[in-house]
Structure 1
Amino acid sequence: MSIEERSTLVYSTALGGRVKQEKLKAERPKGDGVVRIQLKRLGGGKMASVVVGVPLDEPELKELGRELKQKCGVGGSVKDFAIEIQGDKRNVLKAELEKRGYTVKLAGG
């Protein structure tokens, strides 16, 4: 891989100054139709339940994440088409997602 392939243009006199980089819009990864709930260990002995594979676009996924956080009574976030919920709430999340009609599996250890 050459230097030209790894570098990005920041400034160009031909274009009149600073060059803005185009931000690529992230696309939802293709899944197999099964929603998986994983347990992720964070630093300091903390854990988070991560929900992946939900077949929704970003605005609907953020709304679902908000509703799941309220149902569990904890905080969390939505990143890269995955919903992260603080704590080990896998059983509560599984029951809620199955009630909404999704096929759910508990993944990982």
Structure 2
Amino acid sequence: MKDERIRDERVLVYSTDGSTPLPAPAARRKTQPVARAMPDDGVLRVSREKRRASAVTVVHGLAAGELEAVGKELKRLCGTGGTAKNGVVELQGDHRDTVVAHFERLGRRVKRAGG
């Protein structure tokens, strides 16, 4: 009788055969933030987003043909890493002032968006 009770209380902690039970798919799925669509009015929008514990400067409103060149130029200007993909330029760190001043020198319409 004692052996039966012990067997009932045992819980599988680790197994190498891959038979460990996983939580339901809905429980382990992370929710993705809803992306807001930026208006296509010819104005460049420079915003800052928080990613984990750091800030990322995001530039919206660039044409697809100039995305790579402007991304490379901004990374060099700010002295930081980043990427140009999905219609936006992302720079590591908070460089909003530098980016806005650069586009104003070039005569482009630019707005500081977000916080």
The TM tier, using the shorter chain, reads: 0.5 to 0.7
Unmatched segments (≥5 aa) in structure 1: 1-28
Q: Who is 1:36 aligned against?
A: 45
Work out the CA distance in 1 between the residues paired with 2:95 and 2:54.
13
Match of 2:106 in 1: 100
Q: Which whole-Å CA distance do the structure 2 matches of 1:100 and 1:31 have between them?
A: 20
Alpha-carbon distance between aligned partners in 2 of 1:30 and 1:95, rounded to the nearest angstrom: 22
**The one of 55, 62, 65 aligned to 1:47:** 55
TM-score, length of structure 1 as denominator length: 0.67
Q: Does 1:70 align with 2:79?
A: no
User: In structure 1, how many angstroms separate the alpha carbons of the residues matched to 2:40 and 2:55?
Assistant: 25
Aligned length, in residue pairs = 78
Which of the pair is proportionally richer in strand? 1
- In the superposition, the TM-score normalised over structure 2's length comes to 0.64
Other structure's SS at 2:73 match:
helix
Check 1:70–1:108 CA distance in 2 against 1; reply closer, same or farther (3 A cut): same
* Shift of residue 102, structure 1, vs aligned partner: 1.0
Q: In the alignment, residue 76 of structure 2 is paired with which amino acid?
A: Q
Question: Which residue is equivalent to 2:64?
Answer: 57
Cα RMSD of the aligned pairs, angstroms, is: 1.4
| 1:93 partner amino acid | V
For 1:71 and 1:53, the matched residues in 2 are separated by 19
Return the letter of the residue paired with 1:101.
G
Larger Rg over CA atoms: 2
Match of 1:90 in 2: 96
Amino acid in structure 1 at the alignment position of 2:103: L
